[in-house]
Structures are given as structure tokens and as C-alpha cells.
Amino acid sequence: MAFNRFSGRVALVTGGGSGIGAAIALRLAGEGATTVIAGRNEEKLSRTVTQAPEGSTIVQRTTDVRDEAAVIELIDGTVEVYGRLDVSPSARPTRCGTTMAGPPTVPPEALRKAWPPASLSNTARTVSAPMTCTPASSIPPE
């Protein structure tokens, strides 16, 4: 069931290798978004890519979202390749300390760079949800 509500949009889904993250990525891709999935387990990410609906685009990036520099590189790389970032739900337990959607270890300056105020007015959908507050030490390994 393709509605193309996200046609022409770019989505970045953390935790895209399994569970809710994979389901979100597959749905966004099925609705037309170019979808970048990130996670630590390359095999799980690859499995999600192979499940992509016909004609959709899901690109995997092996990234540890607990590493601030890696997340900044992920966001910058996505914007560099696709010229935009429209949707970024977070599907992994996260650290405390942010009120914005997206990987919570990213400093606000990096999020402003990815989503400058002028571009937000042109954004189809920006997911904004309360973030789960989980100490990094309690995030289970994949």
C-alpha cells in the first residue's frame, strides 16, 4: 500500500536494523522517502534493506549512535549526499539530555546545521516525540 506521502523526502532512522526501527524505515520507504537506516549491526541493517518495498530506496549506514562524532558524521553525510533531511525518528533507547527528535547525543548546534530554521518551514514531516531517558550503560549490545 504505497501512498507516496513522503515522495521526495529524506528520512534517517536510527535502530533501523530490527523491530520498530525496521518497521518505521520500511513504511517510510514504502511511502516514497529515501530512507537512511543506521545501527551497529551491519547484518541486521542489510536484512532491512533486502525487505525494502519494490522501487523504494533504503540505504544502510553502520553507526554507533552512542558516539557523538559518529552521529554528527551520519547527519552531515546524509545531508551532503541527499541535500536535505526531512524526517528522523529515533527507534533506539537513548541517553538523557535532549528535547529534539533525532539521535540525542548530538549537540543542538549539529541539529541546527541539519535542520536550519529556514528549511523547517519546507519540511513535509519532522517527527518530534519525547525521548526515552536511558543511561547509556544500560543500552544492550546488538
State the pLDDT at residue 4: 85
pLDDT, tens digit, for every residue of 30-85?
A: 999 999 999 999 999 999 999 999 999 999 999 998 888 888 899 889 999 999 88
Its pTM surpasses 0.85: no
Q: 4's torsion region: left (phi>0), alpha (psi -120 to 50) or beta?
A: left
The partner residues of 85 in beta bridges, in order of sequence, read: none
- 45 Cβ contact list (under 8 Å, min separation 6): 16, 17, 37, 38, 39, 60, 61, 62
Asked if the model's pLDDT at residue 101 lies above 60, the reply is: no
What dotted CATH number matches 10-132?
3.40.50.720
The partner residues of 13 in beta bridges, in order of sequence, read: 37
Residue type at position 2: A
DSSP structure class, residue 136? G
Asked if the model's pLDDT at residue 106 lies above 90, the reply is: no
